[in-house]
Every structure is written in C-alpha cells, then in structure tokens.
Amino acid sequence: MPLVCLSEFEAYAKKHLPKASWDFIAAGADECCTRDDNLMAYKRIHLRPRVLRDMSVMDTKTTVLGTEISFPVGIAPSGFHKLAWPDGERSTARAAEAMNVCYIASTYSSCSVEEIAAAAPAGLRWFQLYIHRKRTLSEQLVRRVEALGFQALVLTVDVPYTGKRRDDLRNNFQLPTYTSKNFEGAFEDEDHTNDERLHAGSVDYSVSWKDIGWLRSLTRLPLILKGILTKEDAELAMKHGVQGIVVSNHGGRQLDSVPASIDALPEITATVQDKVEVYLDGGIRTGNDVLKALALGAKCVFIGRPALWGLAYKGEEGLQEVLKILKDEFCLSMALAGCRNVSEIGRHLVQYSKL
C-alpha cells in the first residue's frame, strides 16, 4: 500500500529506525512546546479561496536567489543523514537534483561536501555553516564549498549552545563515528578524535554580529542567516548586508517557548519589505502549509524531519516521494485557492482563526 501523506512516512520511520536514532531526529528542546506548536500554528490559519479563476494552466515554479526551482520547497540543513539511510546525504542530494529543488547541506553531514557535490553535480546546493572554535576549520570549509559549486552560504545563528533534548539524555545518545566527514583528519595532531573535538562544545560561543563581516571577507557567495525570529534581528541582518533570512526556531530544538516559525514570519516580512529574500522552516507537513507560508511572505520553505523520514523509507526514492507529495498537494491547494502561479499567492489568501 503506497504512503500518501507525510504523516505516513513519519509513522514508517518511527517503526523502522532504531529508537535512539528516531528520538534524536524527533527531539525537541525541554518540554517540546515550540516543536509541537510549529505544527499546530498552521491549523490556526485559515485559507480564503477565490473561485471561477480558470485553473486550466498551473505553474508552481519560482526562484531562490535568482535560480529557478520546480516549486517553493527545499531541503533544510540537518546533520547525520546516515542515521536514516546508509548512503546518507548523497541520496539527499540526488533526490533534490531529480526534483529540481534546493538542498542546504549541513556542516555536520555524514558525507563530505565533495561526496555531496559528486553525487548530484547539477543540483542546486547551498551550504549551512556553524563557525567552529578553531576558525581555520570554518575558513577552509567555506573555501571548499565555494570551489565545489555550492551557490550560497547559510549561517546558523541560533546555536551558541545546544538546546537540552531530554530523550537524547535518557538514551545517552552518542553519534556514530562517521559523522565528521567534513573534518576528517583535522585533529590528527591532537589527543582527541574528530568526533570528540567536534561534538563537545565545537561551536564558537563568541560569534556575534561583528563576525558577519569576517565571514563575508572569505567568500563571494551570497550569505543567508538562519534562525531569525524577531524584527530587531531582521533589521540587523539587513544592515550587515545579507542576501537572505531563514525564519526558523531550529525545529523547536533550541530555545523552547519561542514562537512557531509561521507565527514569527509576518513580523519579519513586514520589516524586510522585499529588500532581502525570506525563507522559512519548521512544521511544514502539507501543501496547504506551503501555501500559507508563501501567503505570509516566505519566498520558499524548507523541510527538515520529513526529508529524513523519506530517506528512512526508501532512500533517494523515498525522499523523492515526499517531495512529489508536497508538490502535488501544493499545486492542488493553489488551484483550489484560485492561484494559477506563485506570483498570485498573497496575504489576502489567509486569515487567523479566532478560536
């Protein structure tokens, strides 16, 4: 029997992945209030469809930073895809290339950036960066991805420290030894393994707005900041000359009780006023969700956990199925709402529930 919606892929992954791996993927911070509200927030938004609009020709295509994609959904950065599928991020990259969507590869991919680029040489790839305490590692990584044809740099800004994820503590979860491929051999001259050095306080706690200039000096790639939730930080991002913002609460895995991403989005888009592109991740599970996010000003949305569920189901093929379902649902939602193309999606399509 085929899987017909993303919740069925979730159920499959939960049943078939080892419990500790499932708990790591599913985890939210503390009481998981934000993780769960990322989903519930979409249910508080209602659609206002227009009718008799001639839906005989539909077009889901859009662009991100000037590059055309088949529909406004991409794959968010998440680490350690080999937890879900043996071929890891290579399968993720191939699925994204096949569906002509953007894939943001993680600093902590379980395949190297070279392996990811070789797996899908024609794919649209961005690279997500954590700034390591040993800055030269980050500098080298930025130069590697630019040379490999990655088209943008996505700096995650909401992880000065890692949020408390209770299931991981209960499970005494330890990442497998393959998780540091981008830093292979980086610590051979020190009395620690790669994994000990990379997963025990590896992120530079001192990173601040002054480091945006330093990062821009390393590369000609466009810079996107991921993890913005307030208008104040959106204003600072624009002052520092970034090309994009990802409205994100890290899937509810960092500071608990912050707003759902979709609830934070209107404040950001009202502040930015189309001066930079605004994207969103967190809680996308249906084509309806995609439509609502675009109506509230997102240029594109990115999926995190659902990509891993697709990999857990059938690797590259399973992730393509997840993306195809979202694309079909999004196209149907557009048609039923009276939007023939992405440019016709706007704030007029949504209203918030009074309940």
The pLDDT of residue 163 is 96
Q: Which residue has the higher pLDDT, 352 or 210?
A: 210
Query: Average pLDDT, stretch 278-303?
Result: 98
Does the residue 151 lie in any domain?
Answer: yes
User: For a pLDDT cut of 90, what percent of the chain falls above it?
Assistant: 90
Q: Which regions of 304-353 does DSSP assign to beta strands (E)?
A: 350-352
Query: Average pLDDT, stretch 78-98?
Result: 97
In SS3 terms, 207-219 reads as CCCHHHHHHHHHC
User: For a pLDDT cut of 70, what percent of the chain falls above it?
Assistant: 94
pLDDT by residue (tens digit) across 301-346?
A: 999 999 999 999 999 999 999 999 999 999 999 999 999 999 999 9
Does the residue 101 lie in any domain?
Answer: yes
73-75 and 67-69 as β-strands: parallel, antiparallel, unpaired?
Answer: unpaired
Looking at 102-106, 200-204, 326-330, which range is the least confident one?
A: 200-204
Q: Which domain holds residue 59?
A: 6-352
CATH code of the domain covering residue 165: 3.20.20.70
pLDDT at 5 over 50: yes
Distance CA(129)–CA(227), nearest Å, equals 12
Does the residue 348 lie in any domain?
Answer: yes
Distance CA(144)–CA(171), nearest Å, equals 35
Distance CA(221)–CA(230), nearest Å, equals 25
Which residue from 292, 350, 341 is spatially nearest to 70, judged by alpha carbons?
341
Q: What is the DSSP letter of 258?
A: P
By the 10 Å C-beta count (0-12 exposed, 13-18 middle, 19+ buried), 289 is classed as buried
pLDDT by residue (tens digit) across 184-200?
A: 877 555 545 444 445 54
The pLDDT of residue 354 is 60
Does the residue 265 lie in any domain?
Answer: yes
* Half-sphere exposure in the Cβ direction for 252 (13 Å, CA): 26
DSSP lists the bridge partners of residue 73 as 301
Does the residue 1 lie in any domain?
Answer: no
At 183, the pLDDT band (50, 70, 90 cuts) reads confident
Q: What is the number of structural domains in the chain?
A: 1
Catalytic, 250? Answer yes
Per annotation, catalytic residue among 46, 132, 250, 348: 250
Distance CA(84)–CA(97), nearest Å, equals 19
